[in-house]
Amino acid sequence: MNRNVYVRSVKFFFTGLLAAFLLASCGSVFLTGRKQLMLVSDQEVLALSLQQYRSFMDSAEVVVNSADAEMINRIGRSIAESVENFMTFNGRAHELENIDWEFSLVKDNSVNAFAMPGGKVVVFTGMLPVAESEAHLAVVIAHEIAHVIAKHSTERISQQIALQFGGEIAGGLLASSSETKRSIATAVFGLGAQLGVMMPYARKQEYEADELGLLFMAMGGYHPQEATAFWTKMSAAGGTAIPEFLSTHPTDAKRIAKIQQKMPDALYYYKGPGIINRTTAPIVKDTKVL
């Protein structure tokens, strides 16, 4: 074998290896089908994020035994249960294995809410007067549930690893020690420095969370049209003091137009509060990649 042939075959081997590796490290988002780069496992992300979530909750003033806290929990449970039933019916139960939902209200005047892997959703009391109604809180919570189901945090950590290693993805993964992953996760979740201020999701992930959130709130018995009203209200908010949620969720005409586009799909899942049989609903046509 001359040298050129040898070099070519070695290159061919490694390209094949990389392709196989990338194939193995890709996931796809439930319902939207969008392909994702996944370089860390659910278990790894969970180990890193739960640690941060627990220390956040230890230092936070968690509201318990109040009507508002119960409402947050009720909305979250209702939507999450519907989504779980729907996913189980459609053969995706294995994606729920590492999720143990917790819906908490934290006393903090920030207009904010966030979700962490494993189904940990936190709403700040500052969000209550802005959202105003249970249906509008359902928009926020369904959107956060969507970030969890779509594993946006895992994707974000994977993208950071890929970035940090300059596109040498396979090498990056091999080189990324658990210490590296921990520091990346700390940067991504950022719960240490400032309460609930996390690295913003990419715009594509935000649109995806809007789309899935719309379907999920409908499955949970909340009218999806409330989402348009909520985001329109959010976009009108701001002024001198831009709410935290708005700063990570820039709301413009495009965002609202995209939500409107998905409204017919969402209405398909909406059967009205109290009379829902969403566990046996088939997946509505192929939802387009955003």
**Closer to Zn ion by Cβ: residue 52 or 85:** 52
By the 8 A CB rule, do 77 and 100 touch?
Answer: no
How many Å is the maximal CA-CA distance in the chain? Answer: 77
**Closer to Zn ion by Cβ: residue 173 or 187:** 187
DSSP conformational letter for 99: -
User: Least separation, in Å, of the C-beta of 248 and Zn ion?
Assistant: 7
Residue nearest to Zn ion according to CB distances in the complex: 209
- Binding string, residues 157-196; x marks residues near Zn ion by CB under 5 A: ----------------------------------------
DSSP conformational letter for 200: P
By the 8 A CB rule, do 159 and 204 touch?
Answer: no
Give catalytic status of residue 144 as yes or no.
Answer: yes
User: Least separation, in Å, of the C-beta of 234 and Zn ion?
Assistant: 12
By the 8 A CB rule, do 276 and 219 touch?
Answer: yes
Half-sphere exposure at residue 236, Cβ-oriented, CA atoms within 13 angstroms? 8
Residue 72: how many CB atoms within 10 A of its CB?
A: 26
By the 8 A CB rule, do 18 and 169 touch?
Answer: yes
User: Least separation, in Å, of the C-beta of 63 and Zn ion?
Assistant: 22
Q: What residues from 207 to 246 belong to the interface with Zn ion (CB under 5 A)?
A: 209
**Closer to Zn ion by Cβ: residue 157 or 209:** 209
Which member of 84, 95, 144, 244 is catalytic?
144
**Closer to Zn ion by Cβ: residue 90 or 159:** 159
- Binding string, residues 193-212; x marks residues near Zn ion by CB under 5 A: ----------------x---
User: Least separation, in Å, of the C-beta of 72 and Zn ion?
Assistant: 17
Sorted by sequence, the CB contacts under 8 Å of residue 210 that are 6+ apart come out as: 143, 146, 227, 231, 255, 258, 259, 262
- Binding string, residues 31-70; x marks residues near Zn ion by CB under 5 A: ----------------------------------------
DSSP conformational letter for 95: G
User: Least separation, in Å, of the C-beta of 201 and Zn ion?
Assistant: 5
148 SS3 class: helix
Half-sphere exposure at residue 172, Cβ-oriented, CA atoms within 13 angstroms? 22
**Closer to Zn ion by Cβ: residue 145 or 281:** 145
Number of residues that bind Zn ion (CB under 5 A): 1
User: Least separation, in Å, of the C-beta of 249 and Zn ion?
Assistant: 5
Sorted by sequence, the CB contacts under 8 Å of residue 282 that are 6+ apart come out as: 90
**Closer to Zn ion by Cβ: residue 39 or 209:** 209
By the 8 A CB rule, do 202 and 250 touch?
Answer: no
By the 8 A CB rule, do 144 and 121 touch?
Answer: yes
Write out the catalytic residue numbers. Answer: 144
Contacting positions for Zn ion (CB under 5 A): 209
